[in-house]
Amino acid sequence: MFVELEDFEFASEPLEAEYYREGAQDLIRKLVPPDLLDSTHDLVSRVRFNDMLPLIKPSALDQAPCSFSVRILCKYRQNASHFFYEMISRHLLPHKRLDVELFFSSELRLPRLSEDMLCVAEIVVQIKSTQDLEEIRRNFKQIETEIRLGVVSHYHARRILEFKGLTNDGKTAMIQEKIGSLIQSRSKDFDRGIFSQMQHFLVTCREEFKAARDYHHISRIISNLYSLRQLLNQNVEAQPQQRHIILKFFKTRLLLPKKQEPGQYVLGVLVGLNFLREHEIFDKSHLIAAIKRYIPSARLVEGSFFDDRSQNSLIQTNYIEIEKCDGADFTHEEIQILRLHLPEELKAHVEQLTHPIFMPRNEEEVLRNIMALSRQLRFVTDIPQVIISFEEQRGSELCFTVVLLRVVGPLGESAIERLSSAKTGLKIVPDRVRPLGALGRKHIKEAAVLRAYIGNSSFIRTDHSVDLYKARQSILAEMTRVFGELRDYNGGMIGKQNEVLSALKQSLGRLAEQHALLLEKFFFALTPVELRSVMDAEHLKQLFLLLLQSQKSRRRFQMKKTDWLFRQEAQRLCIVLPQVGPALKEKIFSHLKKMSLPPYQLISFSIEMRETLHMGFLLQSENVSEQKQFYDAIEQAVR
């Protein structure tokens, strides 16, 4: 016979190998025209044979039930026979798998007709109903065309199987093949360690996730997670004391169920970061909250969050997909905003877990507070006095001790009765209510010690710290509603500072909302502390704007440690130094000390941003020569 097959080694069953060879020869006779098999070794026959490939011949479709066979001869390509099997068994009838009675495949050579390795295969399926028979007649031409494309091109085979709803087992095999090809083509960037990343990802993510995404997208996630972790490890080794954030974005569209067509637009976000302390955490709620600061309409694609942090590692990688509420695509400008601002925002969203504090209330201090407030009440017309102090945190509740002293008339309600009738939203637990003496004949001083509980959810800042000051202000506002005008005995300076901070936020407008956390850090870093409650908000606004300008300048240009920014105006001189070390900080204050400026004239701040110390100064002076002297002192210290 003219057929020459590859050598098959069957050490124990040579007879079975002979049957296998005869089966392949029989298929060749049924597929290749006899005149070509009988032809001599000439160029015309070889060209004609190659033009005919791939050869596909179906059997006749008789009345159901019946068996239907399809034979194929094509140039050898890895997994070509597997593709042929999948197309006939799974997709000849849409959404229904056919029972396979027989599948035969062999690799062979026909030296007279081609120098290439060839593959011959036959599959026989069972058709059970007339309806199935008619549907196969309608579908076969399209399936035949797709088989011709797929057995020739590995790329087309993968794409055809994807759009026909590749099973997860088949998709996993294609992902493994893609990752394997990366190791071969980019051996400098990827080693065999990427298989561990792939295994962890495929085991962790749900089947629904894999079904809605093509193999190329999943392979891209795995390879990028691996590269991102490698780069993060290098950065941490070089600078272990710094927080490192690495981001990568790519857009895609999910596949719709059953139809397997592109559906909703989503944005994939890859995040890599390191932890600086033992009890830090970062999960999807932190990531979504940071993203929504810049794209408020963004929301999590359900089931798309992937988290990879080993038990003893201080490095974590995450993958998440977000979509817009209206289903619109993400614009280039929105992605650029996230790329520019999200790294710094994510640093503020890393949460530090802390142990609850146990500290029994100091009753001696409570008694001192009662006596101090009692001395403030000397006339029956004096307004009530209150001291509010933080006591403890119990789960999601904050507990404050409230010491209230007021003058009560002969028909007046006690503090407990007033709170009960007012139906306050606070959870108030009375500790004790005692009279402290009389004012005149009909009025007494009443001292009430209360515990006020309030939920902490409304007072959690973007860095997940609890704003006790705002919680305290809420309790004060509720007590004022119940008892009327109160004097906040231990919150006078805090109240004044809050007034200045509120004026500063109002002056900054939208900038205050965009940089809320930085603005608070800036304000409460101002020294001397007493000036925070009396400073002109316009002066502070100019200093804060200069701080923001220093951040933009650092991103646009490679600023040196000796570079700094200043703004000179008629009433003030603002200076910001973006990169300050401990030695430089000490030298600056040493030079400024020689000027002997009055404490109320100079205000300064030191805050850490992007792992570097930033310093700023505001000199309130209309004297031009004094401004120049101050400028020269800073310049001399820096240069």
CA–CA gap between residue 389 and residue 452 (Å, rounded): 10
Q: Is the pLDDT reported for residue 29 higher than 50?
A: yes
- The verdict on residue 357 lying in a domain is no
Domain co-membership, 482 together with 510: no
Query: For residues 541 and 71, what is the distance between their CA atoms, to the nearest angstrom?
Result: 80
φ, ψ of residue 576 in degrees (nearest 5):
-130, 130
Position 10 scores a pLDDT of 36
Mean pLDDT of 295-300: 91
More confident residue, 357 or 532: 532
One domain, residues 127 and 273: no
pLDDT at residue 330 greater than cutoff 60: yes
Does residue 435 lie within any of the structural domains?
yes
Same domain, 624 and 519: yes
493 vs 311 pLDDT, higher one = 493
Mean pLDDT on 205-216: 82
pLDDT tens, position by position, 472-504: 989 999 999 999 999 988 877 777 888 888 889
Give the helix/strand (H/E) hosting 232: helix 215-238
Q: Which of 450, 472, 490 is the last residue of a domain?
A: 490
Residue 297 lies in a domain: yes
Indicate whether 172 belongs to any domain.
no
**With 70 as the cut, is the pLDDT of residue 163 above it?**
no
Q: Which two tokens stand for residue 515?
A: 């940089």
Same domain, 158 and 9: yes
Mean pLDDT of 216-225: 89
Q: Are residues 548 and 613 in the same domain?
A: yes
Position 166 scores a pLDDT of: 56
Same domain? 205 vs 315? yes
Please indicate, yes or no, whether residues 156 and 207 belong to a single structural domain of this protein.
no
Let me know: does 127 contact 67? Beta carbons within 8 Å: yes
Task: Look at residue 8 and tell me whether its pLDDT is greater than 60.
Answer: no
Confidence of residue 386 (pLDDT cuts 50, 70, 90): very high
Q: How confident is the model at residue 169 (pLDDT cuts 50, 70, 90)?
A: low
pLDDT score at 401 = 93
279 band by pLDDT with thresholds 50, 70 and 90 = confident
499-519 pLDDT, tens digit each: 888 889 888 888 888 888 888
For 33-37, what is the mean pLDDT?
82
Within 10 angstroms of residue 459's Cβ, the number of other Cβ atoms is 18
Who's near 628: CB < 8 A, 6+ residues apart? Answer: none
CB 64 within 8 A of CB 128: yes
What confidence tier does 554 reach under pLDDT thresholds 50, 70, 90?
Answer: low
Whether 357 has a pLDDT exceeding 80, the answer reads no
Structure tokens at 340: 């520019």
pLDDT interval class at 441 (50, 70, 90): confident
Rounded Cα distance between 417 and 396, Å, is 28
The answer to whether the CB of 321 falls within 8 A of the CB of 269 is yes
594 and 550 in a common domain: yes
Overall average pLDDT of the 381-390 stretch = 92
Q: How many domains does the chain have?
A: 4
Q: Are 597 and 614 contacting, i.e. CB atoms less than 8 angstroms apart? A: no
Reported as a pLDDT band with limits 50, 70 and 90, residue 11 is very low
Residue 181 pLDDT grade (very low, low, confident, very high; cuts 50, 70, 90): confident
End-to-end CA distance of the chain: 93
- pLDDT average, residue stretch 370-391: 91
pLDDT above 90: residue 185 = no
Return the closest-CA partner of residue 341 out of 296, 294, 299. 294
Query: Counting Cβ atoms within 10 Å, is residue 334 exposed (0-12), middle (13-18) or buried (19+)?
Result: middle
Task: Categorize the per-residue pLDDT at 105 as very low, low, confident or very high, splitting at 50, 70 and 90.
Answer: confident
Mean pLDDT of 152-169: 70
Rounded percentage of the chain residues whose pLDDT exceeds 90: 16
Give me the mean pLDDT over the 9-18 stretch: 50
pLDDT over 80 (residue 230): yes
Indicate whether 158 and 59 sit together in one domain.
Answer: yes
Single-letter amino acid, residue 225: L
pLDDT given for residue 349 in this prediction: 85
173 within some domain: no
Does residue 358 belong to any structural domain of this protein? no
Q: How confident is the model over 213-229, as a mean pLDDT?
A: 88
Mean pLDDT over 254-273 rounds to 76
Q: Is residue 171 part of a domain?
A: no
Q: What is the pLDDT of residues 50-93, one digit of tens each?
A: 888 888 999 888 787 888 999 999 989 888 888 898 888 888 88
Q: What is the pLDDT of residue 288?
A: 92
CA-to-CA distance for 281 and 459, rounded, in angstroms?
19
What is residue 2's predicted lDDT score, i.e. its pLDDT? 38
**Predicted local confidence at residue 247, as pLDDT:** 93
- What local confidence, expressed as pLDDT, does residue 122 receive? 92
Q: Give the per-residue pLDDT at 555.
A: 55
Give just the sign of the alpha carbon dihedral 169, 172, 176, 178. positive
Q: What pLDDT, on a 0 to 100 scale, did the predictor assign at position 49?
A: 86
pLDDT at 569 over 90: no
**Structural domain containing residue 567:** 498-638
Query: What is the pLDDT averaged over residues 135-154?
Result: 85
What integer pLDDT is reported at residue 272 of this predicted model? 92
Q: Are residues 153 and 57 in the same domain?
A: yes
Considering the chain, what is the average pLDDT of its residues?
A: 83
If asked whether residues 384 and 348 sit together in one domain, one would say no
Coil, helix or strand at residue 611: coil
Q: Among 325, 352, 379, identify where a domain stops.
A: 352
Residue 187 has pLDDT above 70, yes or no: yes
Backbone region of residue 396 per phi and psi (left: phi > 0; alpha: psi in -120 to 50; beta: other values): alpha
**Strand bridging mode 385-394 / 487-488:** parallel
Q: Is residue 170 domain-resident?
A: no
Distance between CA 417 and CA 434 in Å, rounded?
14
Does residue 5 have a pLDDT over 60?
no
Last residue of a domain, one of 119, 138, 164: 164
Segment 246-257, tens digit of pLDDT: 999 988 888 766
pLDDT over 50 (residue 548):
yes
Q: Are residues 156 and 29 in the same domain?
A: yes
